[in-house]
Structure 1
Amino acid sequence: MTENEIANKIIGLAIEVHKALGPGLLESAYKECLMYKIIQSGMFAEKEKPMPLVFEEVKLDCGYRMDILVEHKLVIEIKSVEALNDVHLAQTLTYMKLGNFKLGLLINFNVALLKNGIKRVVNKE
């Protein structure tokens, strides 16, 4: 599957989770439920995937962790905030650059309509 095909499936699963739970819960609840739906759908996913930082040829374990990585290709960063801001976008893009991933989804579950809380993030490097 391509990154776009994976992203489309993930968006559908995220909408299912949001319809069932609604807004207002903690990020961890949405992460666990989305992870469950991804695995149930037959896709491979890793939760809290460590992302080392390479600085001047040295690999540093700084505690960076991606929320979910799907099929070794798609970065998913989950939020439950009043509004997404530039820092959330930068965080997602940083994970993508560190792992050399092309596409990410920044999903804010704390919205009335989930499509308004989804941002596709493209690594143009």
Structure 2
Amino acid sequence: MEHELKKAGLNVKRQTDIPIVYDGLTFKEGLRLDILVNELVIVELKAVETLNRLWEAQILSHLKLTRLNLGFLINFNVPLIKEGIKRYRI
């Protein structure tokens, strides 16, 4: 996935730690994003039979905490990849 995004000319960071600031304290390893594209889009990758609602909550939390607006949860364990892509926008 990282390779294909870079081939498309996008800036990609993999396994990026995002600090969380709470009550004046900074937690340096607060979040770990699977992929961050162009500092704008969060991509979480899975390869599972069924998606857990916890992962939906996770990506929504990541979007809120990073103040980003767009995220994708991609499950590769599907017959057609388009069936495994879920888009989240806040």
Q: TM-score, normalising length from structure 2?
A: 0.92
User: How much does 1:115 deviate?
Assistant: 1.2
The reply to whether residue 110 of structure 1 matches residue 77 of structure 2 is yes
2:59 to 92, 95, 101: 92
Stretch deviating more after TM superposition (59-68 or 101-110):
59-68
The number of residues matched between the two structures is 90
Match of 1:76 among 31, 43, 57: 43
3-state DSSP of counterpart to 2:26: strand
Please list every run of 5 or more consecutive structure 2 residues that lacks an aligned counterpart in the other structure: none
- Aligned residues of 1:52 and 1:61 also touching (Cα < 8 A): yes
Within-5 A mapping of 1:18-29:
none
User: Contact 2:76–2:84 (CA<8 Å) still a contact in 1?
Assistant: yes
Runs of 4+ in 1 over 3 A off after TM superposition: none
- Greater RCO (Cα-Cα under 8 Å, separation 6 or more): 1
Aligned residues with identical type, % of pairs: 38
Q: Is the 8 A contact 2:43 2:71 kept in 1?
A: yes
Contact residue 35 and residue 47 of structure 1 kept, 8 A: yes
CA RMSD of aligned residues (A): 1.2
Question: Does structure 2 retain, via aligned residues, the 8 Å contact 1:47–1:69?
Answer: yes
TM-score w.r.t. the length of structure 1 is 0.67
Q: What does residue 19 of structure 2 align with?
A: 52
Asked whether the equivalents of residues 51 and 98 of structure 1 are also in contact (C-alpha less than 8 Å), the reply is: no
Return the structure number with greater helix share.
1
Tell me the distance in 1 between the aligned counterparts of 2:42 and 2:87.
Answer: 10
Name the structure where strand makes up a greater proportion of residues. 2
